[in-house]
Structure 1
Amino acid sequence: MNDKILHQLEFSKIKDWLKGQAATSLGQEKSKKILPSSDLEEVIEWQNETDEAVTILRLKGHIPLGGITDIRPAIKRASIGGVLSASELLDIANTLYGGKQLKSFIEDLEDIELPIIREYMEQLTPLNQMEQSIKGCIDDYGHVMDGASSKLRTIRSQIRSYESSIRDKLDQYTKSKSNMLSDAIVTIRNDRYVLPVKHEYRSSFGGIVHDQSSSGQTLFIEPQSVVELNNKLQEARVEEEREIERILLQLSGLVQADADILRHNVTVLQQMDFIVAKGKLSRHLKAAKPTMNQEGYINMRQARHPLIPEDEIISNDVEIGKDYTAIVITGPNTGGKTVTLKMVGLCTLMAQSGLQVPAQDGCELAVFDYVFADIGDEQSIEQSLSTFSSHMSNIVEILNDVNSNSLVLFDELGAGTDPQEGAGLAMAILDYVVEKRSRVIATTHYPELKAYGFNRKEVINASVEFDITTLKPTYRLLLGVPGRSNAFDISKRLGLEELVIDRAKSMVSDDSRSVENMIASLEQSRLQAERHFEEAEDFLEEATNIYQSLRNEYEHYLSHKEKHMDKAKVKAAKIVDRAETEAEEILKEIREMRDEANVKEHRFIDAKKKLSNQKESLETTEEKPQKKAAKNQSFMPGDEVHVLSFNQNGNIVEKINDKEYEVQLGILKMKVPVNQLEFIKRPDPLKTKPMTSVKGSHYHVKPELDLRGERYEDALQRLEKYIDEALLANYHQVSIIHGKGTGALMKAVQQFAKEHRAIKGSRSGHANEGGSGVTVLELK
């Protein structure tokens, strides 16, 4: 893509916008260099990394990049043996800390798929020792601290002592000789403490004169009594500077040793800031991730020009590249033709640069080798020969380079010359580009091009809508409908005499009138179809809401039904077990006394058999396995069947065809494929239909339950039901998988285990069982 095309489509404004989203100068630098790519795999990779940033921003609201600065110049100076300043070293430490914070933030997002960003984070090397060494010597304001070395601490202690002594001596002068001073203060000149003495009292103080006021009336004198202390203070300050220089040299050596690692860290952080900036821009534009292809197919729904505010632009649907490869847009000036043209071109450049586009989800864009554009001033009333020549020169260059993987945008094709010649040129140019199998969108005023698309299957007409009532364009793009001339209608509404309008109509050829009438008919049909479509959408939404409401009610009914039946089965089983135990004890006592009571052994056997029969009669909530119907067997109305897809029993209502039956499932009637039905039984017409029992006398329950991703209340309901089933399956131990997460689900499971009477104990899983993400329950 050459710079001229990028300029015409205003891609530089997108780059400036992106730059403003970057958090660091590193990201801003990379944002300024963004360019479209014609490599499909590279573009897909860029789109995926942008989408990962958008996902994080949507779920977390931010991505931390604080403290990161461009430390490359400092790294370069340290690499060649230079001594870095305290502020430069502090920037390096802060950048290391910022990178560490970013890496920790990404690692904590365990439940989000971020393959690209995680790969970048793996390349970040935390230099903790360097960071701590710098932070241990330099404070947050870029000053070397006293604790940087024991020698520096001693020197600064001496400096404070000297300063205190000097001030004490000079304060005595300000009190005893204040009348000789211009101001009773201690000040500094040439890094030495002095007094502001009136000129006439110079001899009263002695010492050294360091400066005087502009009027010459005040002399800044260092009294002789503090000269020696000032000398010692200066010596201590020199020692301080030497020690600071030594400390900075030592820290610079650490930077020099790990210069390569630091450079790579900066490169990774720059890329991350750039990716985050792309994500922020997407959120700002309310953009969507496009699916990219290399077949020249563009399909955008409710697309907007990214540089025009959302409340000022009308979104449009644009599709090209499958049924047709060219769109010819006709319509009045200021109607939005050029905006639509630029929108398609700019969105294509954005997508090929890894940026998301302002359109609905599910949009699709192509990766082109070239994007060509010839866009002039569509509002110009007069165009000179030089302007026409300029446009034609540009078009000649385009035609020389165009290929089958190009997107070509022509604005006011053929304008600026004789209308008939211009129309002929426009059609010839379009034919040439279409034959090259390029994708082309062109705008024009020429009425001859309104019929152009009807004669060529690769071309479709389009127009921008114009409201005759308000005499204003609506800016809506209408695919398949050429623009009609509104001159007569507008003139009539503006008050032009009917006689004049009728005479003008009589001067228009029959062919032109036929075309205009056809376009008017198409427009009327379109408006009527849009009304019908809106009504159908309303009906569909209402029907969907009713269906969803009924489905939710039915699922709620089924979930509660199973829950109550499961509880009843557990309770019944416990009653039977308790009765059997008590009966065994009674029989044992009777057997011990049988000699005295003269009771026969077979009587005991009969009694035990009778008890077993009673147990079977109590277990009426379970059913025996039913035989499945043969594969090709047909069903009759009333047959009881099991619907595999819903795991529910129902009854056949009627046969729809050889492949489907209508089945009554509770309160709902549903069409079910025959391969999803299992025969259970056919009702006996001579007998009363028995109640449907719960399936299975043996519970096929897994020894583990996975609750990850469940809501709190739903998880506890599932857990309670699962424990009942596990008890019926005679499990002594089960595993509950709840994951680590925030720990809320793990606490809920452990609290449930403490309160449930059938759970003997609980423990966290061993390393080979899933660790703290699993709780193992011991059942009674």
Structure 2
Amino acid sequence: MEQRVLKTLEYDKIVALLVERATCTYGKERAAELQPFTALEKVSAAQRGTAEAANVLRLKGSVPLGGIRDIRGAVQRARLNAMLAPSELLDIASTIASGRRLKNFLLDMAEDVELPLLREQAERIEGLRELESEIRRCIDENGDVMDSASQELRQVRQEIRQSEARIRERLDQMTRSSSYQKMLMENIVTIRGDRFVIPVKQEYRHVFGGIVHDQSASGATLFIEPEVIVSMNNKLREARLREEREVERILFLLTEQVSFAVEALMENVAALTELDFMFAKAQLAWSMKAVCPKLNDQGYVRLKKARHPLISRDVVVPLDVELGGEYQAIVITGPNTGGKTVSLKTIGLLSLMAMSGLHIPAEEESEVTVFSSVFADIGDEQSIEQSLSTFSSHMTNIIHILEKMDRNSLVLFDELGAGTDPTEGAALAMAIIDHVLSSGARLVATTHYSELKAYAYDRPEVVNASVEFDVETLRPTYRLLIGVPGRSNAFAIAGRLGLPQEIIDVARGSISEEDNQVESMIASLERNKKSAEAERQAAEALRREAEELRRQLEEERNRFAEEKNKRMEQAEDEARIAVQLAKEEAEAIIRELRQMRDEGVDIKEHRLIEAKKRLGNAVLELDKEKVKKPAKAVRATQIKVGDEVMVTSFGQKGTVLEKVNSEEFLVQIGIMKMKVKRDDMNVLKSPPAQQQAAAYTSVKRRSQDIKMSLDLRGYNVEDGIREIEQFLDDALLAGLNSVSIIHGHGTGMLRKGVHEYLRQHRNVKSFRLGGQGEGGVGATIAELK
């Protein structure tokens, strides 16, 4: 694609917007290099990637892309065994952690949502947890190598601290001594060139001996290292040199570990680049309220309510365009500043965006073709350096386009044939359009020439279009009207501006009858177009209303079917329970009869079997009759605190804790307590009154004994999560609104694990770090639902 065309259509401004939305350096570079594809397969893949990323943003709102650093230079230096600085190693650790976090995020989402392209990129990322852990063990967040990096470093730093303390103590004795104070400019100990010194007056230089390291601007003060601490400073200097060597050794070891992971790190960088780029495209689509267009390679373009992406949504006027189906070319006529050029640029720019894998600001069902090339001749490209007129400049560009285009090209001409004699310009414009049509390319052209209006009517593959102009307000509406050529409006505008009517009549009389008929025809077409549009909108409104009514009816039908099934299941459950109770009663009767027989009463076995069978049949027939009648009134008098019940709407067993009112009870279902209506329960088992009271008291006591805080200090993440799970269950049973979880400061891993678990818990409404008096960042306060 020619860069001049991309700039003409303002594609570079879209790329700049895309770059702004990338998070890391990799993504920004990738976005800045974006170019339109000319193969349908590549465009389809790019659009799918944008669609997947947009779906993630729609479902989650944001993506964890923070913490990614540009580590390419550091990795390449590690490949060459050049020692990395602590800040470079920290950047590598941060990027590893960020990549792993993003990978886990996407793979978790991919379990529930189809994200094949994002999953593919996420799976390229290697965890490299050991390398990250080793870097963070040795280097703190400020970029300093920590004492814990090695035993040698810990010892030498301890020696340095002790030496510094002894030197300071000796110098402090001198500065506090009354015999020395008059010789000192100030009673302080300072440092010059890593050596401890004191400020001595010039005239007392000989008293202290030692080494002069600096002097004041006036020369009155000398910064002297007294002779008594020279050897101590020398030992301190030696210790610091050992410290530097040990730090370098540690950094070389860490660099060596990085060098072993160079290939994995570069693969992570490549995957993070693509992921950041895809989410930048999704962010741009969201900001533009853009949609994923349908794609084809048949030269067919259909834009519905398309908007120019660089014009504010508050002022832009959407346009509907169809090209490549019934019509191969569109000729747009109308007044200046009416929006012809904007329409032209919108068609070209949205085509380029779609070919680049970007969503386009239009309505669903919009369709774009993948062109082999897009050409545009737009605006005044007069070249002063080449001494070319406006006409010559346009002709030079048009000749270049005609040489390069093919049947799969999109050609955009603005003010075709302008800048020369109108008659010749119109004839030339028609000849150029004929040539483009003969090549099979798609064409959109704007013009002022009225001759092209008739030309479009004579060509079945060309359609007229115009930008609407409101004669009443003397302003363009910027609406693109397909099928209606533009008209001059000169007489109407002149009359509205105050030109005498007799002058207008004279001017109108000088126009041929044929031209007047054409203007009248165009005016009639405009009226018919507006009338048809109004009728279409009314029909669309009726269609939407009918669809809404149909949707509501369908919902009602589904609700009725669900309610019917629910009632049937409820009736079956009630019947099954009643039959089971009847059978148990029958078994009890049989046992009593057998006992009577065993005691001497003469009852035959077959009589017992027949009695049981008759009783079973009678119960079944009775239960069928009962199912037909509402059993709610019977159950209403049977529910008591402590009853084991079946909650029909949930299909779960529960225990009645207390009576809320005449129609509602508080029921314990698993770990949940909820209010359930009397009509929504069946009694399964009713224990004796003493057991009811005991069960209720047990639940109450457990609720009262629960603490409002949980101390996890000393736990690892896995064990801590198990403790939180039980703690939250107890808190919910106790009806607590908020709880405190104490995790301490430590490395922060336990805090992160706690926050991740709370974020996913269905009964946690929100959480925050503790405030003053609540444990600060060592505790988390969770609000429960």
The two structures have a TM-score, normalised by structure 1, of 0.76
Which residue of the partner structure matches residue 389 of structure 1? Answer: 392
Which residue of the partner structure matches residue 465 of structure 1? Answer: 468
Cα 1:199/1:552, change in 2 over 3 Å = same
Which residue of the partner structure matches residue 730 of structure 1? Answer: none
Which residue of the partner structure matches residue 624 of structure 2? Answer: 619
Return the letter of the residue paired with 1:511.
E
Which residue of the partner structure matches residue 200 of structure 1? Answer: 203
CA deviation map 1:407-457 (0-9, x unaligned): 111111111111111111111111111111111111111111112221111
Q: Does 1:70 align with 2:70?
A: yes
My pick for the range that moved more, 167-176 or 31-40, is 167-176
Equivalent residues of 2:586, 2:615 under 8 A apart: no
1:411 aligns with one of 392, 411, 414: 414
Equivalent residues of 1:328, 1:460 under 8 A apart: yes
Q: Does 1:720 align with 2:721?
A: no
Paired residue secondary structure (2:305)? strand
Which residue of the partner structure matches residue 754 of structure 2? Answer: none
Equivalent residues of 1:300, 1:364 under 8 A apart: yes
Equivalent residues of 1:333, 1:378 under 8 A apart: no
| Alpha-carbon offset, residue 205 of structure 1 | 2.9
Cα 1:488/1:28, change in 2 over 3 Å = same
CA deviation map 1:705-764 (0-9, x unaligned): xxxxxxxxxxx97763999xxxxxxxxxxxxxxxxxxxxx99789999xx98779xxxxx
Which residue of the partner structure matches residue 709 of structure 1? Answer: none
| Alpha-carbon offset, residue 165 of structure 1 | 1.8
Paired residue secondary structure (2:651)? helix
Which residue of the partner structure matches residue 20 of structure 1? Answer: 20
Paired residue secondary structure (1:78)? helix
Q: Does 1:336 align with 2:267?
A: no
Alignment of 1:441-590 (within 5 A): 441-576=444-579, 578-579=581-582
Alignment of 1:55-454 (within 5 A): 55-109=55-109, 110-176=111-177, 177-377=180-380, 386-454=389-457
| Alpha-carbon offset, residue 569 of structure 1 | 3.8
Cα 1:580/1:18, change in 2 over 3 Å = closer
| Alpha-carbon offset, residue 543 of structure 1 | 4.0
Equivalent residues of 2:582, 2:619 under 8 A apart: no
CA deviation map 1:131-152 (0-9, x unaligned): 1111111111111111111111
My pick for the range that moved more, 537-546 or 162-171, is 537-546
Return the letter of the residue paired with 1:9.
L
My pick for the range that moved more, 536-545 or 599-608, is 599-608
Cα 1:616/1:487, change in 2 over 3 Å = same
CA deviation map 1:598-643 (0-9, x unaligned): 9998999699669747845753699xxxxxxxxxxxxxxxxxxxxx
Cα 1:746/1:431, change in 2 over 3 Å = farther
Q: Distance in 1 between matches of 2:195 and 2:607?
A: 123
The two structures have a TM-score, normalised by structure 2, of 0.76
Return the letter of the residue paired with 1:332.
P
Paired residue secondary structure (2:212)? strand
Pairs aligned (count): 642
- Report the aligned-residue RMSD: 3.4
Q: Distance in 2 between matches of 1:598 and 1:189?
A: 119
Q: Distance in 2 between matches of 1:596 and 1:72?
A: 100
Cα 1:500/1:182, change in 2 over 3 Å = farther
| Alpha-carbon offset, residue 369 of structure 1 | 0.7
| Alpha-carbon offset, residue 38 of structure 1 | 0.6
Equivalent residues of 2:586, 2:612 under 8 A apart: no
Cα 1:555/1:125, change in 2 over 3 Å = closer
Equivalent residues of 2:578, 2:623 under 8 A apart: no
Which residue of the partner structure matches residue 735 of structure 1? Answer: none
Cα 1:55/1:179, change in 2 over 3 Å = farther
Cα 1:422/1:505, change in 2 over 3 Å = same
| Alpha-carbon offset, residue 352 of structure 1 | 1.1
| Alpha-carbon offset, residue 572 of structure 1 | 3.7
Cα 1:361/1:721, change in 2 over 3 Å = farther
Paired residue secondary structure (1:311)? coil
CA deviation map 1:666-718 (0-9, x unaligned): xxxxxxxxxxxxxxxxxxxxxxxxx9xxxxxxxxxxxxxxxxxxxxxxxx977
Q: Distance in 2 between matches of 1:52 and 1:509?
A: 61
Equivalent residues of 2:381, 2:394 under 8 A apart: no
Cα 1:575/1:153, change in 2 over 3 Å = closer
Q: Distance in 2 between matches of 1:491 and 1:281?
A: 45
Q: Distance in 1 between matches of 2:460 and 2:452?
A: 14
Equivalent residues of 1:152, 1:240 under 8 A apart: yes
Which residue of the partner structure matches residue 49 of structure 2? Answer: 49
Q: Distance in 2 between matches of 1:337 and 1:449?
A: 15
Cα 1:275/1:586, change in 2 over 3 Å = closer
| Alpha-carbon offset, residue 218 of structure 1 | 2.6
Q: Distance in 2 between matches of 1:377 and 1:749?
A: 75
Cα 1:181/1:325, change in 2 over 3 Å = farther
| Alpha-carbon offset, residue 542 of structure 1 | 3.8
| Alpha-carbon offset, residue 503 of structure 1 | 0.8
Cα 1:181/1:409, change in 2 over 3 Å = farther
My pick for the range that moved more, 580-589 or 73-82, is 580-589
Return the letter of the residue paired with 1:118.
R
Equivalent residues of 1:15, 1:34 under 8 A apart: yes
Cα 1:718/1:519, change in 2 over 3 Å = farther
| Alpha-carbon offset, residue 240 of structure 1 | 0.8
Q: Distance in 1 between matches of 2:341 and 2:435?
A: 22
Q: Distance in 2 between matches of 1:387 and 1:719?
A: 78
Q: Distance in 2 between matches of 1:412 and 1:83?
A: 63
Structure 1, unaligned runs of 5 or more: 623-690, 692-715, 724-744, 760-780
Paired residue secondary structure (1:312)? coil
My pick for the range that moved more, 80-89 or 569-578, is 569-578
Q: Percent identity?
A: 49
Which residue of the partner structure matches residue 649 of structure 1? Answer: none
| Alpha-carbon offset, residue 186 of structure 1 | 2.4
| Alpha-carbon offset, residue 365 of structure 1 | 0.8
Equivalent residues of 1:385, 1:417 under 8 A apart: no
Equivalent residues of 1:388, 1:416 under 8 A apart: yes
Cα 1:129/1:341, change in 2 over 3 Å = same
Equivalent residues of 1:338, 1:378 under 8 A apart: no
Q: Distance in 2 between matches of 1:605 and 1:91?
A: 87
Return the letter of the residue paired with 1:316.
L
Which residue of the partner structure matches residue 40 of structure 2? Answer: 40
| Alpha-carbon offset, residue 589 of structure 1 | 7.5
My pick for the range that moved more, 21-30 or 171-180, is 171-180
